[in-house]
Structure 1
């Protein structure tokens, strides 16, 4: 049965999360519509996804709304499905971060055992949402290069190894201001090729500095190319960004600068002068590091088949068909949040 589905985002980094799901829905013959607000306003997904606005989203009455934000407009019809905008990288406490339940969603599609168990415990207490482990749609393209995007990003490297650099926008955690000179020196050497990017919320002056490094030994790429770049790179240099966990799913080494919660699968350092030796270690990983990478990858995202989007759709259908049990009414706190969302969006109709 063909149905209409709505994709919702409030930041541009949600686009590569929603695009694989859009493709899976289209392949199944469904109508796919997208409503983007705030930081994602003005962005688009490729046709045949139909971009719509607030009033069209309400009139659509979708079968389900898939959100890659930490909220979703409750006044739009359909099951509300949380896809997550990143992995849990412990930037904040559980109460304020990844495991915060706002009473807006009916289904949480978790990425792997590390998030499934905590959310199932929360679901057992709250009773107003279901949890299904599906894997993360954003990583579907990580295990295939359907359009050759990864190969194109890697092509200028020739036979050289490839390093990717990514950084969070959180000022106290960002490596970008501290590592620029060290990275610039590595790029100038030219023995490795660099793929450089920054979080969309990083200051414009940082973007200008890193873009200036582009040339024969480096390229700067945009957020929409993030997954393709991860597939193209051999080693990641980063900080406390969730890109670290995305990259680790491939079982590839990661070098982190002052990570907030360093773990055995990371090569963490705190002095920019150490960058050359840390990269050397990453390109010649010890067996213990490879074992730690594999164990962590299995805990956060064991799926390597590129079919997480298909599992998300199946989980949503199971919810709508009553196969996941009967959910309780949303808590009173969710009604207050719903009023806040209406006020923020300027929508007061029933």
Structure 2
């Protein structure tokens, strides 16, 4: 019988992970659990004074987490505890979302569109479990006390992806600059943290009183501010649609009826205008898409993640095979993490 509170470790390699994990931390603390963070990349300054930082593998082993939560693709297999994948985005159309790397014991999926494929993979591989929980990052969006816009200013959130093959920034920069000068819409630009400056520079150079580039790592406050999102093939589009708002995409890799997808730059202003008026043909399909992607709109996805983990901690890996040895992935973190 466990004679101490559950201990959970959050393994972070990119700064947008904090927005994903902090609702989970809040739910865990409410249950009396202990939470610590291990940062492989982001600076310690991202943590607040009441958040515990572990700096070495030795400290992690002493902490002895019951589970390690990961909003990324990989995790040090030398860390104690269940390895729990909570994902870094909703972009299931992106390459690698359903790739099994042999590192996780439990996948916490968003909704039917992810649960089905991962359960098929669980049957195929036989050494991990899948539970549909919803995404902790979305909890504040659906919280009863979530703030809403009241100023009436029409706002475009431009959130291009970072991939050189997919980013819309070079193609749209001049047209966005023209629209920003000629229309009274407010523009907010949120770059992906991996965006190369050569792609970001033309957007940063746009000079207009109603145009701003934000360095804020969190996406949810921006989702609340904006009326329309403009993007390309970014997973942020799915987050925006969960809020019931329209998304205009430029040459999206997997266009569907839930998106207002354009293929020519000169279509941009008309598409944004139509979306602002609420007359876009995607509005009905958008609701169906959100239901398939993330039907959990009660703000309690973090609670379901913790329940799924607790269930696995109690029942162990009953019925599951052994995970692959993964020597190369073990060696990767052995080389870079402080001992």
TM over 0.5: yes
Unaligned runs of 5+ in 2: none
Q: After superposition, where does 1:208-227 map in structure 2 within 5 Å?
A: 208-213=201-206, 216-227=209-220
Q: After superposition, where does 1:235-274 map in structure 2 within 5 Å?
A: 235-274=228-267
Asked if residue 22 in structure 1 is aligned to residue 22 in structure 2, the reply is no
CA distance in structure 2 between the aligned counterparts of 1:293 and 1:30, rounded to whole angstroms: 37
CA distance in structure 2 between the aligned counterparts of 1:141 and 1:67, rounded to whole angstroms: 19
Match of 1:296?
289
Deviations 1:15-47 (A, max 9, x none): 211111111112222221111113x34452334
Q: 1:105, CA displacement in angstroms?
A: 0.7
Match of 1:340 among 327, 332, 339: 332
Q: 1:340, CA displacement in angstroms?
A: 3.2
Asked if residue 49 in structure 1 is aligned to residue 54 in structure 2, the reply is no
CA distance in structure 1 between the aligned counterparts of 2:45 and 2:171, rounded to whole angstroms: 31
Match of 1:165 among 139, 158, 169: 158
Contact 2:122/2:128 (8 A) holds in 1:
yes
Match of 2:141?
142
Cα gap change, 1:119 to 1:56, in 2 (>3 Å) = same
CA distance in structure 1 between the aligned counterparts of 2:311 and 2:220, rounded to whole angstroms: 29
Cα gap change, 1:42 to 1:209, in 2 (>3 Å) = farther
Q: How many pairs were matched up?
A: 335
Contact 1:255/1:266 (8 A) holds in 2:
yes
Q: After superposition, where does 1:115-134 map in structure 2 within 5 Å?
A: 115-134=114-133
Match of 1:73?
76
Unaligned runs of 5+ in 1: none
Cα RMSD for the two superposed structures: 2.2
CA distance in structure 1 between the aligned counterparts of 2:26 and 2:203, rounded to whole angstroms: 32
TM-score scaled to structure 2, two decimals?
0.91
* SS of the residue 1:122 aligns to: helix
Match of 2:184?
191
Q: 1:246, CA displacement in angstroms?
A: 1.1
CA distance in structure 2 between the aligned counterparts of 1:245 and 1:160, rounded to whole angstroms: 23
Between stretches 318-327 and 172-181, larger displacement belongs to 318-327
TM-score scaled to structure 1, two decimals?
0.88
Cα gap change, 1:324 to 1:291, in 2 (>3 Å) = farther
Q: Which has the higher helix share?
A: 1
Q: 1:313, CA displacement in angstroms?
A: 0.7
CA distance in structure 1 between the aligned counterparts of 2:260 and 2:146, rounded to whole angstroms: 32
Cα gap change, 1:159 to 1:302, in 2 (>3 Å) = same
* SS of the residue 1:118 aligns to: helix
